[in-house]
Amino acid sequence: MSGEATRRPRTPRVDGFVAPGFEPVRDAFLANLRERGEMGAAFAVTWGGEPVVDLWGGPADSERGRPWRRDTLQAIFSGTKGLVALCLLMLADRGELDLEAPVARYWPEFAAAGKDRIRVVDVAAHRAALPGVAGRLSPDEILDPRHVASRLAAQAPETDPRAAVTYHPLTYGWLCGELVRRVDGRSIGRFFAEEVAGPLGLEIWIGLPAHLEPRVSRLVHGPDWGRRNGWDDAAFAADELLRRIWGNPELFGRGPIRWNEPRWHRAEIPGAGAIATARSMARLYGCLALGGALDGVRLLDRATLERGRRPVSDRFDPIAGDRQVFGVGFELQTDARALGPPQDAFGHCGAGGSVHAAWPSLRAGVSYAMNQMRDDARVDARAQALLAATYAVLARRAGGSG
């Protein structure tokens, strides 16, 4: 064999399937591996409740040479927030939680320090002015959601006006998770497991069972990780609010990735800690795209779901430097189209590039999960290529609607 032949790059392996007509989605997935620097990833789509795309490829652990397999699990970071939003809406659907009521109705301690008028919907839409925890918070404390919730209950709202219109990356989960516990008695992880994942047969966990740890993919930083917003040491030193939100403690820096540690996988971190397969996330959002029912399982009434995906907060986030739109916990579309082309898409993206969403007008659920974390662009080119290819196929089949 010639030297030129031996140097020819191998075609990356893509496993899984696409339904007839969805071949362009597989082509986009392969192009991610070949041309866009993708490492390990999975992408899945359901249409009308049926799986039509289920792809995976690349390494699940590049250090150990472990390939991505059908059962590989992936951390989805803020994709967790969409799961928590669903739990809140299910309790509202049952009449157990009033979204317009003060949080203190269900969690009396929360009324401390002038928070008696903050409503459930304010907490769910990232406008409670509690984007970070006051006082030093150690990484170990993050693993105890009840402890952090008690700290937030005693804390006064931030006086910095930016706090009321900025994303609550971790505190959203602790606040909403404690609300679920106060109303229902179960932790957010147990509620989701018993009321959502179990009935729909989903491999999604907020608090991973220890025996599943060998299936979890290992996260790595992309070459430009942590540079897009320019949050260096000087920025953290100069801005107390920024430091509370993203540096107390710093969990998304360029150092060792704590999110790879098994004890972090086992913990219930409801703002960012869920672990799932893309296949299951697409099935869940496919259920929501159909109005909240699938295969004889109804999670909630269609009207309640519509309430959840109606805009509650539409603002420019001065910390993130982007426009953000939220319903009751769900991320909604902006001009960036992070959730894919359809205007009516809702769901939630995750740190590093993952996207998980319902496309109601096309009766579809989509999920992209990956292990190389990037933040070098406003929207991730890898996800956008897959979402655009999926949309093109579905829009043609729907006669151009969506």
Q: Count the Cβ atoms, other than its own, within 10 Å of residue 313.
A: 18
Q: Count the Cβ atoms, other than its own, within 10 Å of residue 210.
A: 9
* CB-count burial class (<10 Å; 0-12, 13-18, 19+) for 362: buried
Q: Kindly give the interhelix angle for 171-184 and 79-93, rounded to the nearest 10 degrees.
A: 30
Q: Where are the alpha helices (DSSP H) in 135-200?
A: 139-142, 145-154, 171-184, 188-192, 198-200
What are residue 8's DSSP bridge partners?
A: none
Question: Which residue from 202, 207, 212 is spatially nearest to 279, judged by alpha carbons?
Answer: 202
Residue type, 281: M
User: How many whole angstroms from its chain centre is CA 81?
Assistant: 6
* CB-count burial class (<10 Å; 0-12, 13-18, 19+) for 271: buried
Q: Are strands 372-373 and 220-221 parallel, antiparallel or unpaired?
A: parallel
Report how far apart, in Å, the C-alpha atoms of 382 and of each of 43, 59, 323, 327, 360 are.
10, 16, 21, 26, 23
Helix H, strand E, coil C: the string for 304-358 is HHHHHCCCCEEEEECCCCEEEEECCCCEECCCCCCCCCCCCCEEEECCCCCEEEE
B/e letters for 175-186, b = 16+ CB within 10 Å, e = fewer, are bbbbbbbbbbee
Contacts made by residues 301-306, CB under 8 angstroms, sequence distance 24+: 301/93, 304/89, 304/92, 304/93, 305/89
- Find the catalytic residue in 2, 62, 78, 280: 78
Report how far apart, in Å, the C-alpha atoms of 335 and of each of 70, 85, 339 are.
34, 23, 10
Q: Which two tokens stand for residue 72?
A: 């590989």
Tabulate helix, strand, coil % of the chain (nearest 5). 40, 20, 40
CB 237 within 8 A of CB 246: no
> Does residue 361 carry a catalytic annotation?
no
Catalytic residue set: 78
